[in-house]
Amino acid sequence: MALVFRVAMQFAGLFLSLLGWVLAIITTYLPHWKNLNLDLNEMENWTVGLWQACVTQEEVGTQCKDFDSFLALPAELRVSRVLMLLSNGLGLLGLLAAGLGLDCLRLGESRRGLKKGLLILGGTVLWAAGVAALVPVSWVAHRTVREFWDETVPEIVPRWEFGEALFLGWFAGFFLLLGGGLLNCAACSTRAARASGHYAGAETRTRCPYLENGTADPRV
């Protein structure tokens, strides 16, 4: 039963990490980090992302333009680019390492210590990817709030607000943190069989097919 719970925790952690990684990639390239609605022209909506700015008009549609210079961007957008790309890269490495460390993967099943180390490494890297995703979206959100409530700016000046990408980024970071934590907990949990590595490997091969079929007990 302990092995079933351990394997289920591994798959849950890997699934949440994969979901967080996909959301982080979408967040990186989605041009909706900040939104601006003009009171004078309600049919015009501006959005800004890490790579381009877009304007949506009812008659023309959506038109986007890439930023000409990286150095000309505000500091929070420059740093956000680097951190989001770092999060994407760390997420991929973490998923590969954690996938190789799964108990149900027969590759390297005789080297239990190596598989445990890969699982811990994958969980730690995924956790770092989550932090790298949360920092930029939280920083941009903080700057947006400060500028929105800045009393030195006249009230007639339009204010930027949160875009959809910020919420996706928060979900991405949360899923990466949760998935990496589950993988680390699964790696550090007690194994069901301690007699020998051969017995543990045999039990894993016996139980894992039933997990794939949706049943936890081979007698069912």
Lowest pLDDT segment from 84-88, 101-105, 199-203: 199-203
- The CA-CA-CA angle for residues 14, 184, 115, to 5°, reads 80
**Burial letters 146-177, b for 16+ CB under 10 A, else e:** eeeeeeeeeeeeeebebbebbebbbbbbbbbb
CA distance 205 to 183: 20
CA distance 86 to 118: 20
pLDDT tens, residue by residue, 56-81: 887 778 899 999 889 888 899 999 99
| CATH code given to domain 2-34+71-212 | 1.20.140.150
**Percentage of the chain modeled with pLDDT above 70:** 79
Domain boundaries, the chain: 2-34+71-212
Residue 127 has pLDDT above 90, yes or no: yes
* C-alpha 134, offset from chain centre: 9
Q: What is the pTM of this model?
A: 0.81
Residue 26 has pLDDT above 50, yes or no: yes
Residue 6 is classified by DSSP as H
**DSSP assignment of 102-117:** -TT--TTTT-HHHHHH
Q: Residue 96: which pLDDT band, with cuts at 50, 70 and 90? A: very high
Closest CA to 114 of 190, 181, 197, 177: 197
Lowest pLDDT segment from 118-122, 153-157, 204-208: 204-208
- The CA-CA-CA angle for residues 32, 88, 160, to 5°, reads 20
Q: How many CB atoms lie within 10 A of CB 20?
A: 28
